[in-house]
């Protein structure tokens, strides 16, 4: 975990490569997120609230010595980029306006002063004066209820809000904040940094209760078990699995996917958790990770159910470094092959089959694959006769590229199996 200091008149702090990529991911995700919010040319305005809960001072210097923007500037620049793209791609009578209120929270008054000066220098002085960008001093946890209320007041019907919670450790965003976000805001999303390596190194039977009180996470492991687990070679597998299942079960989000960020020196891994209430939001984030595949990983197998038994440890059974699922083109092929093997078995329990929406919905939280990747595997199986895809009339679908949500997937009445002589 790296803590940063800003002081106007001195050089901005150093931003490591993995954090710079994290900002690039945020920018990519936000642009695609905004584009999905404006599907119709006649829609000329969308309103949402973005909360940057650990905003920092606005500028860094990367490892190449170049000045790079912090998350508040990344967010504001992504809004402008998305507006330009929407207006370019769609035939519009008047330009679309993305009406965002950006709330930046930080504990340090000096950091916020630096951010204010950066924003004014970059042309956002009017946004500050008009309240479209707000700077708030304090801890995110202390302001959570107020910013959730503000987001609710701005979008009472849609409840559209995005929380960028790039915390330094693992306990600055307690569970009650996440539950409040998803209870009050129908279309809320959270991008949460969680330093899992730091927590695993800290956690013991002696301090488990303190961790649970501080975070509100009710870990699915007993204090007496932790010290025993840490004596086994694969103790990280069990603790990561327990913590992941506890967090996702208790945060109140319907859709969730953790991605791993591994610093270049190979230690200090952290989760980048995306939590949302709609599968499309999760799909946009998964697509962004395939774009930035050199820096993100899942620790688990390809295909479905990769999180059902927890994460793969850094060392495999032969005590060799386990690099995980890396979102590369090779990983895409492996994922497709694995899904091709798994999908027929997943349809065995339903003689009448299930709709594609039902199938994808029950598996989305267990896979790194995007919806289009799952569609491609299903259609390939349909074309080879391994499964059947039926349209709304019950006839064999002629779909070749896209499936409708109400297309039914089922096994053929008789399947042929090949046996070696």
Q: For 247-301, how does the pLDDT look when each residue is reduced to its tens digit (9 = 90+)? A: 989 999 999 887 777 665 555 678 889 999 998 888 888 887 677 554 444 445 5
On whether the CB atoms of residues 60 and 5 are closer than 8 A, the answer is no
| Residue 302 in domain | no
On whether the CB atoms of residues 405 and 363 are closer than 8 A, the answer is no
Which residue would you say has higher pLDDT here, 322 or 243? 243
Please tell me whether residues 271 and 404 are part of one structural domain.
no
Among residues of the chain, what percentage have pLDDT more than 70?
83
Please tell me whether residues 383 and 277 are part of one structural domain.
no
State residue 392's pLDDT score.
82
Backbone angles phi, psi at 147, to 5 degrees: -75, -30
Please tell me whether residues 245 and 373 are part of one structural domain.
no
Tokens of 228: 């025993």
| Residue 186 in domain | yes
Strands (E), 6-106: 14-15, 45-52, 59-62, 67-69, 97-106
| Residue 362 in domain | yes
Please tell me whether residues 137 and 271 are part of one structural domain.
yes
Please tell me whether residues 279 and 372 are part of one structural domain.
no
Please tell me whether residues 136 and 246 are part of one structural domain.
yes
Backbone angles phi, psi at 49, to 5 degrees: -115, 135
Please tell me whether residues 257 and 151 are part of one structural domain.
yes
Range in 204-208, 214-218, 319-323 with the lowest mean pLDDT: 319-323
Range in 115-119, 177-181, 297-301, 338-342 with the lowest mean pLDDT: 297-301
Point out the domain boundary residue: 297, 325, 344.
Answer: 297
Please tell me whether residues 398 and 249 are part of one structural domain.
no
| Residue 61 in domain | yes
| Residue 81 in domain | yes
Most confidently modeled of 28-37, 43-52, 176-185, 318-327? 176-185
Tokens of 5: 């200091």
Enclosing H/E stretch for 317 = none
State residue 270's pLDDT score.
81
Domain extent for 232: 14-297
State residue 391's pLDDT score.
85
Please, is 244 exposed, middle or buried when counting C-beta atoms within 10 Å of its C-beta (0-12, 13-18, 19+)? Answer: buried
Domain count, the chain: 2
Please tell me whether residues 143 and 250 are part of one structural domain.
yes
Rounded to an integer, what distance in angstroms lies between the CA atom of residue 138 and that of residue 140? 7
| Residue 310 in domain | no
| Residue 325 in domain | no
Please, is 158 exposed, middle or buried when counting C-beta atoms within 10 Å of its C-beta (0-12, 13-18, 19+)? Answer: middle
**Predicted confidence band at 224 (pLDDT cuts at 50, 70, 90)?**
confident
Please tell me whether residues 19 and 134 are part of one structural domain.
yes
Which residue would you say has higher pLDDT here, 400 or 47? 47
Please tell me whether residues 380 and 237 are part of one structural domain.
no
pTM given for the model: 0.86
Please tell me whether residues 236 and 348 are part of one structural domain.
no
Planar angle of CA 126, 28, 104, nearest 5 degrees:
40
CATH number of the domain enclosing 246: 3.40.50.150
Point out the domain boundary residue: 274, 297, 320.
Answer: 297
């Amino acid at each position: 975990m790296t803590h940063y200091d800003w002081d106007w008149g001195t050089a901005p702090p150093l931003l490591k490569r993995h954090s710079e990529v994290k900002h690039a991911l945020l920018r990519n995700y936000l642009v695609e997120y905004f584009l999905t919010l404006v599907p119709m040319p006649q829609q000329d305005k969308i309103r949402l609230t973005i909360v940057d809960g650990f905003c920092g001072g606005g500028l860094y210097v990367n490892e190449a010595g170049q000045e790079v923007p912090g998350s508040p500037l990344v967010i504001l620049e992504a809004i402008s980029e998305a507006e330009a793209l929407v207006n370019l791609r769609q035939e519009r009578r008047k330009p679309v306006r993305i009406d965002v209120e950006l709330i930046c929270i930080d504990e340090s008054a000096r950091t916020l002063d630096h951010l204010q000066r950066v924003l004014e220098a970059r042309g956002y002085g009017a946004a500050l004066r008009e309240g479209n960008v707000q700077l708030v001093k304090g801890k995110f946890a202390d302001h959570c209820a107020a910013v959730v209320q503000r987001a609710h007041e701005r979008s009472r019907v849609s409840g559209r809000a995005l929380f960028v919670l790039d915390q330094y450790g693992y306990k600055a965003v307690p569970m009650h904040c996440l539950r409040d976000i998803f209870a009050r805001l129908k279309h809320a999303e959270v991008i949460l940094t969680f330093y899992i390596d730091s927590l695993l190194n800290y956690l013991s039977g002696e301090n488990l209760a303190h961790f649970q009180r501080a975070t509100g996470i009710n870990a699915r492991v007993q204090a007496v078990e932790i010290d025993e687990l840490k004596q086994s070679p694969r103790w990280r597998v069990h603790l990561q699995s327990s913590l992941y299942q506890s967090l996702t079960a208790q945060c109140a989000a319907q859709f969730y996917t953790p991605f791993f960020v591994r610093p270049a020196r190979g230690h200090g891994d952290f989760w980048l958790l995306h939590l949302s209430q709609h599968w499309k939001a999760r799909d946009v984030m998964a697509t962004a990770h395939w774009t930035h595949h050199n820096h993100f990983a899942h620790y688990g197998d390809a295909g479905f159910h990769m999180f059902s038994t927890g994460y793969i440890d850094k060392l495999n059974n032969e005590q060799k470094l386990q690099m995980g699922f890396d979102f590369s083109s090779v990983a895409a092929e492996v994922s497709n092959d694995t899904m091709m093997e798994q999908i027929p078995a997943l349809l065995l329990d339903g003689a009448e089959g299930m709709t594609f929406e039902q199938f994808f919905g029950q598996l989305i939280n267990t896979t790194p694959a995007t919806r289009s990747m799952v569609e491609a595997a299903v259609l390939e199986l349909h074309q080879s006769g391994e499964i059947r895809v039926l349209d709304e009339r019950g006839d064999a679908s002629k779909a070749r590229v896209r499936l409708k949500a109400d297309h039914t997937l089922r096994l053929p009445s008789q399947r042929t199996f090949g046996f070696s002589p």
